[in-house]
Structure 1
Amino acid sequence: MKISARNTIPGTITAIAKGPSTATVKIDVGNGLTVTSTITADAAADLGLKEGDTVTAIIKASDVLIGK
């Protein structure tokens, strides 16, 4: 699969919280860091995601916001 996004981070799924319409997926990307993604429940099912899976977090954003 080719994609246009250049920000890709490999990791391992550590937790999946499934709701009626969305799933929150936590990915351990190393060095004590976790990336959390909220995707549709259908997408999670189609991908067959489960804890322990090796996946890639693909980040495509035009803005990065910082708050304090």
Structure 2
Amino acid sequence: MRLSTRNQLDGTVLSVTRGEAMAVVRVRLTGGDEVTSSITRDAVDDLGLVEGVAVKVLIKSTEVTLGVD
């Protein structure tokens, strides 16, 4: 599959925390950084996401916000 999203990062699922409708998926990227994604529980099931599964993190955003004290 070819995608227009240019920010594609390889990683491995560290954990999946299921809520009532959503799940939080923590991913360790190649290089050691971590990314967290909130997706539906159905998506977790459809993708077979469990600890140790290799994933491609796709980042598409129109805004990146930073803050400091």
Q: TM-score range by the shorter chain?
A: over 0.9
Deviation digits for residues 7-61 of structure 1 (CA, Å, limit 9, x no counterpart): 0110100110011210100000144310000001111111111100000110000
RMSD: 1.0
CA distance in 2, matches of 1:2, 1:31: 24
Partner residue, 1:6: 6
**CA distance in structure 2 between the aligned counterparts of 1:48 and 1:32, rounded to whole angstroms:** 23
Sequence identity, in percent?
41
**What count of residue pairs does the alignment treat as equivalent?**
68
Give the match for residue 58 of structure 2. 58
TM-score (norm 1): 0.92
Q: 2:10 & 2:31 partners in 1: Cα distance? A: 12
Matches within 5 A, 1:14-25: 14-25=14-25
- Distance of 1:29 and 1:2 partners within structure 2: 21
User: Which 5+ residue runs of structure 2 have no aligned equivalent?
Assistant: none
TM-score computed with the length of structure 2 as normaliser: 0.91
- Structure 1 gaps of 5+ residues are none
* Aligned match of 1:28: 28
Which contiguous aligned blocks of 4+ residues in structure 1 show a shift greater than 4 angstroms? none
* Distance in 2 of aligned mates of 1:31 and 1:3: 23
